[in-house]
Structure 1
Amino acid sequence: MPATPAWPPKSAPRLFVGERLAAGASVAIDGPQAHYLGRVMRVAEGDAVVLCDNQTGEWAARVSSAGKRDVVLSVESLLRPREDVPNFTLCAALLKKDRFDLVLEKACELGARRIQPVITRRCVADKLNLDRARAILIEAAEQCARTALPELAEPVRLDALIKHWETDRALFFADENGGEPAAPAFAANVPAAALLTGPEGGFDETERAAIRALPQARAIMLGPRILRGETAAIAGTALWMGTMGDWTA
């Protein structure tokens, strides 16, 4: 006899929803998500959809009805509980829109728990559309099969970030003027950590001195080359995840 196909199939669409999920619940999808399911994925009654609620985890659901404007799903079973995300915050200076979009997307894929946009003196941008940024994070989480969305904070100025820094969290900052090699510095510290990366023009000397004066701060080097802001944020996050995060599990 042929093997019974896996259900839900790996090709099933994946969506984050706002309500808390449970077996037997009925979920009505409308707006852009309904357009995606109905017009792009062309789901029909009985098809599988994977749902995440950022609270309980990942659920298998089945299409109950698919109309022109909405899709109704019946939640069937829990596939995975919400993941335990490593205690890592990326504090990334704002960059030009397309470059910061890339930082958001990749930080989500790499496993960051929290993303804190930072405004520094040399930032080209000083504003962030939070709704658009959250949409980028949700799309990235759906694509990479995360069950927990990264927390996205409102942009904060660097001096305020330093003033209110948590006493029990290490702050590694990528300093183009030099510092400790990043990997051994990461490995020698407590699991609660943050990485601070600069804007297109880097930190100025006053900012650099203020960061170094913070007791929890440690200057690090991300290799022998000067990296662009988006590259430093992505590379540093990946290196921390490989050293102290969940990549070794």
Structure 2
Amino acid sequence: MRANFRMQRLFIDAPLGPGARHDVSSEQFNYLANVLRMEEGAEILVFNGHEGEWTARLTYPSRKKIALETVEQTRPQPPASDLHYLFAPLKTGRLDYLVQKAVEMGAGLLQPVMTQHVQGRITSLERLQANAVEAAEQCGILSIPDVLPPTKLTDLLDRWPADRRLIFCDEGDEGQNPLPILSAIKERKLALLVGPEGGFSEEERTTLRSLPFVTAIPLGPRILRADTAAVAALAVIQSAIGDWH
């Protein structure tokens, strides 16, 4: 069932069910009451990431408080995406964009990875999670990806599960077309690794290419910024062997 984009959507961290009530946060109150100017009795769509989507009716118990009462389910909870997205942190503004687009493209887990040439850093996991929630609210997505703490690339590779294929965007690859490479992948559990603006070091490229669970792909003849490469890679993976296929 497709999302209804004519109604406002809101993520709430509370159980959902017929007649369930939830007091919104101060930020959500400001958004609903002062930005959208929604009146008592108005209806919105709500979701919590694991119990589907519901219509909810607004009530004003007081001038500074909004309560939501769920009415009926509009969409059941679909299976969560199993595509893991691993990325070297970028500077804050572009990192926000990267996280939002990864969620829109179907990432089910977000893992910051510290590489040798990384230029950004993660100052707040809460900010990353908030960007993931915002993307889900705007795009009709019902599952919120897990956001994991940053980890070093070497540590990540040391504990990598053998049954998950790791695809990494290799800017040093001499090829241009990733489709023949992707079409040869048989595993259904997938992860994508996109490096920093400075690219992977030669040591990192050599290590990645030596591992049996890693597949290197090119991304065409042009040099892409890291956030652009993330969207391009996610699109081609979803199209070739992911949930667009």
CA distance 1:228–1:126, change in 2 (3 Å): same
Give the CA deviation at 1:10. 4.2
Q: Supply the AA of the counterpart residue of 1:184.
A: P
- Which residue is equivalent to 1:154? 149
Q: Distance in 2 between matches of 1:246 and 1:195?
A: 14
Q: Which runs of 5+ in 1 are unaligned?
A: 1-7
Q: Distance in 2 between matches of 1:67 and 1:236?
A: 49
Alignment counterpart, residue 30 of structure 2, candidates 35, 38, 46:
35
Q: Which runs of 5+ in 2 are unaligned?
A: none
- Please identify, of 175-184 and 193-202, the stretch whose mean Cα deviation from structure 2 is larger: 175-184
| Count of matched residue pairs | 241
| Aligned Cα root-mean-square deviation (Å) | 1.7
TM-score normalised by the chain length of structure 1: 0.91
- Which residue is equivalent to 2:178? 182
Q: Distance in 2 between matches of 1:121 and 1:73?
A: 47
Moved over 4 A (4+): none
TM-score normalised by the chain length of structure 2: 0.93
Alignment counterpart, residue 190 of structure 2, candidates 189, 193, 215:
193
Q: Distance in 2 between matches of 1:182 and 1:154?
A: 30
SS of alignment partner, residue 12 of structure 1: coil
Alignment counterpart, residue 101 of structure 1, candidates 96, 103, 113:
96
Q: Distance in 1 between matches of 2:39 and 2:58?
A: 7
- Please identify, of 60-69 and 92-101, the stretch whose mean Cα deviation from structure 2 is larger: 60-69
Q: Is the 8 A contact 2:46 2:53 kept in 1?
A: yes
CA displacement 1:9-43 (0-9 Å, x = unmatched): 74322111111201111111121011111111111
Q: Is the 8 A contact 1:128 1:155 kept in 2?
A: no
- Which residue is equivalent to 1:213? 210
- Which residue is equivalent to 1:25? 20
CA distance 1:94–1:76, change in 2 (3 Å): same
Q: Distance in 1 between matches of 2:63 and 2:84?
A: 41
- Which residue is equivalent to 1:5? none
Give the CA deviation at 1:179. 6.2
Q: Alignment identity in percent?
A: 37
